[in-house]
Structure formats: structure tokens, C-alpha cells
Amino acid sequence: MILFVYLIVVIVMMSKQKSEGKIVSGWTRFLVYSLLVLSLLSLLVSGLAVSLFSLPLLGFLLMAAILEIAYFVRLVIAFGLVFLSLILYLDSQKSQQPTPLSYHLLRFGFHILLMFLMF
């Protein structure tokens, strides 16, 4: 859920940067929207797995199979967050006013924290 809210904040900040005239690449927009959809999918699949647990006999097996799918989606999200850190750094270097490296390292650290919270 934290990842979902964070991605909404990133989308708002991207639109603000674009209105200020800073460079926001198409890859950044594509990756952020893809991560938003994947995080929503992960939330839905996890909720479905918990709801299937109460079924007799096959409930546990169905839950385990669906949680494997959710785990794979979370792995894709984790790699996407690392890639997002890199893309945001490159977008910052392309703009006229580059952002300090410490800000990018702090953002990368936050992405690592989000990965730990997902798993």
C-alpha cells in the first residue's frame, strides 16, 4: 500500500516537473505507470489469496499458488524500482538544473526500503 501511495506522489511530482519545463522522459512515465499497475495487481492478488484460504481442501493449495504469482510480481516491482532510480537520475542529469547526488542516493535508499517492506 505504501508503494501505491508513493507511485501516486511520483506521478504528481512528474507532472509538476513537466509544467516547470524540466525533462521527464517517456521511459520514466511508462515505468511509473507500469509500477503503479503492478502494485495494484499485487495488492489484488494478495487479497484474493487470503480470501481463498478459507475454502476446504484446496484452499491452502490455491492460496500458495496465487501467492507465488504475487511474489513474482513483487520481484518485477523490485527490479522496476531500481530501474526507476536510475532513470530519475539520468533525467535529472539531462535537465538544466541537475539535482545533487545525495538526493538521488536518498531516493535509492528509499526504494531499497520499499523493497524490504514488500517482501
pLDDT tens digits, residue range 14-40?
898 888 877 788 898 999 999 999 999
User: Quick check: 111 and 84 in contact, CB under 8 A?
Assistant: yes
C-alpha 77/C-alpha 4 separation (Å) is 11
User: Quick check: 14 and 29 in contact, CB under 8 A?
Assistant: yes
Which one has a higher pLDDT value, 67 or 78?
A: 78
User: Quick check: 94 and 23 in contact, CB under 8 A?
Assistant: yes
**What is the helix (H) or strand (E) element at residue 2, kind and residue range?**
helix 2-19
C-alpha 71/C-alpha 23 separation (Å) is 34
- Each domain of the chain, given as residue ranges in start order, spans 36-118
Q: For 71-117, how does the pLDDT look when each residue is reduced to its tens digit (9 = 90+)? A: 898 899 999 999 999 998 888 888 777 778 888 899 899 989 888 88
